């Protein structure tokens, strides 16, 4: 049966079935190839998408704007100070207003409950562009990147995620791996593992998909045989600067270095990172942390980040192709 996602929300990975997730990734691959061959067909002419950002973004915002432009749709971006939502107007009222003007709404902010409330009241598809709990559009790009850099089916791919695993990237990586039947490993201090409800959700999915789920504090055990090693920043958007001391103390052994990649025993291992990354002193925050703690890099060494094993810029580009697939899949079939 053909997969039809017309009118659907994408608030977290488990909103879609494994077939639907794979359909979005396959569609992104086709749209990417079509664009490269100069034969992309705009399917969203006249459509409008509201982009609501309560937290900063480079990739997600640009991916939505560029994908929409390629497909003939228009976007309006409301930045953190750019709307009344939540301050002078309730989320519910804002949702109903945006739904009257736009064909879809993207939201990035802290609380998952806000994107869910938008979805409940907007009457149009709502997409989660990152909350503290989930980062589902990132997962589409990560999986597309894995399929491009591995000849094996996803169900036999092993992905080890190292670092801060108790928020969006850790949760989403675990649940996505479980949904797609992968060998997914969370390698982190126990205090930074995904919360029990997320692990239970992943284990439930794994029971039907055949995924292998590992949570371990042991880096050597966690990365052995991995095809992909990934990580994320140790202090996320919205967290206070004083979180660095505790995170550095906990996560220093989980930084992705050449030694960690060697411990996979896989000379074809690839490195993933959703970005932005603290691999050098090229950003103000990295320099502040360096001044205080003397570290040249945090979650990934510059050597790994800049190596041939690193596919992070393919992954960043794939944000655009996969978000385009999401827009096409959910909006192309809707009447204008
Ligand atoms: N990976 C990601 O979501 O990047 P941005 O924060 O730049 O959107
Ligand atoms: N965990 C990170 C992901 C950034 C894309 C954050 O929330 O800041």
pLDDT tens by residue, 77-122: 998 788 898 889 999 999 999 999 999 999 999 999 999 999 999 9
pLDDT band at 34 (very low <50, low <70, confident <90, very high): very high
Task: Check residue 106 and give its pLDDT.
Answer: 98
Residue 265 per-residue DSSP state: T
Share the mean pLDDT of the chain: 97
Query: Which three-class secondary structure state does DSSP give residue 256?
Result: strand
Rounded alpha-carbon distances, angstroms, from residue 132 to 53, 91, 289 = 13, 17, 22
Cα separation of 138 and 129, whole Å?
Answer: 8
For ligand 1, pick from 54, 55, 56, 60 the residue to mutate: most ligand atoms within 8 Å of CB: 60
Question: Which residue in the list 132, 149, 201, 274 is annotated as catalytic?
Answer: 274
Residue 334, pLDDT > 80, answer: no
Of 8, 309, 319, 321, the active-site residue reads: 319
pLDDT band at 248 (very low <50, low <70, confident <90, very high): very high
User: Which range (80-94, 206-220, 284-298, 301-315) has the least confidence?
Assistant: 80-94
Assess whether 138 carries a catalytic annotation.
yes
Give me the mean pLDDT over the 238-258 stretch.
Answer: 97
DSSP three-state, residue 61? helix
Q: Is the pLDDT of residue 336 over 70?
A: no
Map out the domains of the chain as residue ranges: 13-134+319-331, 151-267+270-308
Q: Catalytic one among 232, 270, 315, 321?
A: 232
- The residue among 202, 260, 251, 188 whose CA lies nearest residue 228 is 260
Please report which ligand is nearest the Cα atom of 129: 1
> Is 103:48 a contact under the CB 8 Å cutoff?
yes
pLDDT at 2: 83
- Could you tell me the fold of the domain covering 151-267+270-308? Rossmann fold (3.40.50)
- Alpha carbon distance 104, 327 (integer Å): 8
Establish whether residue 261 lines the binding site of ligand 2, counting it when its CB lies within 6 angstroms of any ligand atom: no
pLDDT at residue 235 greater than cutoff 80:
yes
Confidence check: pLDDT of 287 > 80: yes
Ligand 2 atom 7: residue of nearest CA: 236
274 CA: nearest ligand 2 atom: 5
Helix, strand, coil percentages in the chain from 3-state DSSP, rounded to 5: 45, 15, 40
Read off the pLDDT band of 333 (50, 70, 90).
confident
Measured CA distances, 16 to 23, 258, 310 (Å): 10, 36, 29
Architecture of domain 13-134+319-331: 3-Layer(aba) Sandwich (3.40)
pLDDT at 1: 63
Task: Tell me the CA–centroid distance for residue 60 and ligand 1, in Å.
Answer: 5
Ligand 2 atom nearest residue 275's Cα: 5
Looking from the CA of residue 108, the nearest atom of ligand 1 is: 8
**Closest protein CA for atom 4 of ligand 1:** 59
Fold matches, 13-134+319-331 and 151-267+270-308: yes
pLDDT, position 254:
98
Ligand nearest to the CA of 142: 1
> What's the gap between Cα 6 and its chain centre?
22
Kindly state if the Cβ of 285 falls inside 6 Å of ligand 2.
no
In the residue annotation, 135 being an active-site residue is answered as yes
User: Is residue 238 within 6 Å of ligand 1 at its C-beta?
Assistant: no
What percent of the chain has a predicted confidence (pLDDT) above 90? 95
Ligand 1 pocket check for 130: Cβ under 6 Å: yes
Catalytic (active site) residue 319: yes
- State mean pLDDT over 133-151: 98
Number of other CB atoms surrounding residue 319 within 10 Å: 27
Residue whose CA is at the smallest distance from ligand 2 atom 1: 236
Atom index in ligand 1 nearest the CA of residue 135 equals 3
pLDDT bracket for residue 21 (50, 70, 90): very high
Strands (E), 174-278: 183-187, 212-216, 228-231, 270-273
Q: How far is residue 75 CA from its own chain's centroid?
A: 21
User: Which whole number is the average pLDDT over 241-246?
Assistant: 96
Please tell me the pTM assigned to this model.
0.98
């Amino acid at each position: 049966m053909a997969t039809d996602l017309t009118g659907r929300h994408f608030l977290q990975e488990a909103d879609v079935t494994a077939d639907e997730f794979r359909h979005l990734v396959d569609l992104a691959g086709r749209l990417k190839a079509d664009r490269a061959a100069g034969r992309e067909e705009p399917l969203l002419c006249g459509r409008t998408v509201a982009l609501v950002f309560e937290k900063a973004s480079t990739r997600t915002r640009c991916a939505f704007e560029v994908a929409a432009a390629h497909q003939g749709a228009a976007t309006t971006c409301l930045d953190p100070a750019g709307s009344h939502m939540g301050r002078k107007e309730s989320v519910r009222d804002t949702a109903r207003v945006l739904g009257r003007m736009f064909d879809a709404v993207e939201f990035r902010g802290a609380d998952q409950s806000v994107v869910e409330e938008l979805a409940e009241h907007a009457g149009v598809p709502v997409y989660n562009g990152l909350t503290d709990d989930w980062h589902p559009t990132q997962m589409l790009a990560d999986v597309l990147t894995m399929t491009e850099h591995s000849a094996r089916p996803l169900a036999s791919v092993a992905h080890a995620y190292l670092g801060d695993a108790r928020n969006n990237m850790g949760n989403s990586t675990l649940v996505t791996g479980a949904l797609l039947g992968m060998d997914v490993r969370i390698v982190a201090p126990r205090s930074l593992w995904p919360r029990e409800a997320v692990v239970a959700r992943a284990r439930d999915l794994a029971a039907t998909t055949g995924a292998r789920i590992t949570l371990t504090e042991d880096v050597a055990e966690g990365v052995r045989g991995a095809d992909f090693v990934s990580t994320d920043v140790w202090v996320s958007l919205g967290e206070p600067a004083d979180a660095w001391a505790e995170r550095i103390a906990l996560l220093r052994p989980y930084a992705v270095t050449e030694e960690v990649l060697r411990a996979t025993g896989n000379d074809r291992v690839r490195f993933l990172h959703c970005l932005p990354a603290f691999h050098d002193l090229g950003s103000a925050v990295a320099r502040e942390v360096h001044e205080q703690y003397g570290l040249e890099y945090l979650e990934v060494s510059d050597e790994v980040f800049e190596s041939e094993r690193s596919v992070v810029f393919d992954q960043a580009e794939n944000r655009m192709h996969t978000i385009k697939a999401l827009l096409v899949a959910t909006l192309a079939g809707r009447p204008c």
